[in-house]
Amino acid sequence: MKKFGLLLAGGIAAVILLSTIGPMVGLLVSLVLLYFIFKQFIKAETTGGKIGLGIIGFIVLMASIHNAPAIIGVAAAYVLFLVYKKWNQNKHTKIKEETDPFVNFEKQWNELKNN
């Protein structure tokens, strides 16, 4: 039942992630553009250049705010990562218990003490 819940949560997160890839790419591009516009704004020496870059920066900022649903996609990617981590956690702990000689020794020692 635990695996079914993980599978269901992972499936929902994957669908949400796939549906928000467009806004995620748009947000990434607009934030990169905003970064470079800000760097040029700081370097600009003339008032006209600063005003022009400020207007362009404001337009790009509005475009990045328009892609705010991408945050839901980032959260879905994080949930998908947690599901993947939890799914593989059971496999790794079983393998560790089976191959660890000290765990087997402790089990055998306790069996000998009980008999």
For 22-48, the pLDDT digits (tens) are: 999 999 999 999 999 999 999 999 999
Q: Is the pLDDT assigned to residue 107 strictly greater than 90?
A: no
Show the tokens assigned to 82: 């947690």
Amino acid 93 reads: T
Determine what percent of the chain falls in helix, strand and coil, rounding each to the nearest 5. 90, 0, 10
Task: Check residue 99 and give its pLDDT.
Answer: 66
Q: Provide the mean pLDDT of the chain.
A: 85
| Contact between 69 and 22 (Cβ < 8 Å) | no
pTM for the whole structure:
0.64
